[in-house]
Amino acid sequence: MTALHAPEAAAFDYAKLAADLERLLRLRSFPFAMKLYEDRSEMEAIPRIRRPKAVHTLDQVVAQASRLGWTVGVTSDDLVGAQCRAVVGLGNAKDPKWTSGAHMVNVWFSTPDDAREHQAAMHCVPDGKYDALAVAPLAAGRLDPPDIALFYATPGAMMYFINGLQWAGYKKFDWGVVGESACADSWGRALTRREPSLSIPCFAERRYGGVLDDEMLMALPPEQLSKAIVGMEALAKNGFRYPFAQYGIQNDVRDGMARSYPDRAKK
């Protein structure tokens, strides 16, 4: 088992995890899962798997799981170009041409040096090991165990989810923004580092993947979902729930603050 994969011994109630996320964060799309396969026959054996009949971006494939509830499997031939393949390590995409970023010069970056620096900054699965990838709604449990779980949510919901992760075993999270190709910040980073990875979805994700203006993407090892849910349930008992009830920008703040911090009450 490589570092990319979830522990074999882990056992999760995926339907409950998905339902808890939807309830606590008021999600508008399905939480979903992603898994890489060394042998495409393993991907093709997944129950109710769909295979693309057209060339897609990986953003579109992800959207079919998160927006339509489909289980979809792809190989490198199903994806439109090396940029999509490189992030998930399919098809030996990271050749000198890809590394140069030449295809992005005068499109996203003003000079070859800028494009090359961008490519080097991306979190990508190493080439040569994996032959296929599948995505599916998390609740379906068809990728058991998935490598990572993912969901789209508003910035407020993401902040609440992060608060849940930090409830016990506090950790400061440091995330970066690669810019275009932001899938490297989310599923690329989570697959390679096995850490919660938050991204601001890029142009391609919004144009081709149906991501809405107010949505961010979280990708993380599935075992981290339970940790965050326990934390959010604890916060809810303390009166902190999403969506956040606004207090008002001109009210005396002491009445509101006293709910959590009694020493802030009016004297």
Task: Provide the whole-model pTM.
Answer: 0.92
Q: In this predicted structure, what is the pLDDT of residue 265?
A: 81
Q: Are 137 and 126 in contact (CB under 8 A)?
A: no
Give the number of other CB atoms < 10 A from CB of residue 111: 11
Q: In this predicted structure, what is the pLDDT of residue 10?
A: 55
Residues contacting residue 73 through CB under 8 Å, at least 6 positions apart: 40, 43, 44, 46, 49, 50, 51, 132, 133, 134
Residues contacting residue 196 through CB under 8 Å, at least 6 positions apart: 162, 165, 173, 190, 218, 219, 220, 221, 224
Domain boundaries, the chain: 19-244
Q: Using CB atoms within 10 A of its CB, is residue 120 exposed (0-12), middle (13-18) or buried (19+)?
A: exposed
For the chain, the distance separating the N- and C-terminal CA atoms, rounded to the nearest angstrom, is 61
267 residues of the chain, pLDDT tens digit each: 344 655 554 578 999 999 999 999 999 999 999 999 999 999 999 999 999 999 999 999 999 999 999 999 999 999 999 999 999 999 999 999 999 999 999 999 999 999 999 999 999 999 999 999 999 999 999 999 999 999 999 999 999 999 999 999 999 999 999 999 999 999 999 999 999 999 999 999 999 999 999 999 999 999 999 999 999 999 999 999 999 988 888 898 898 888 888 888 887
Q: In this predicted structure, what is the pLDDT of residue 7?
A: 52
Distance, CA of 133 to CA of 147 (rounded, Å):
10
Q: Are 139 and 203 in contact (CB under 8 A)?
A: no
Q: Using CB atoms within 10 A of its CB, is residue 19 exposed (0-12), middle (13-18) or buried (19+)?
A: middle
Q: Are 40 and 150 in contact (CB under 8 A)?
A: no
Give the number of other CB atoms < 10 A from CB of residue 89: 24
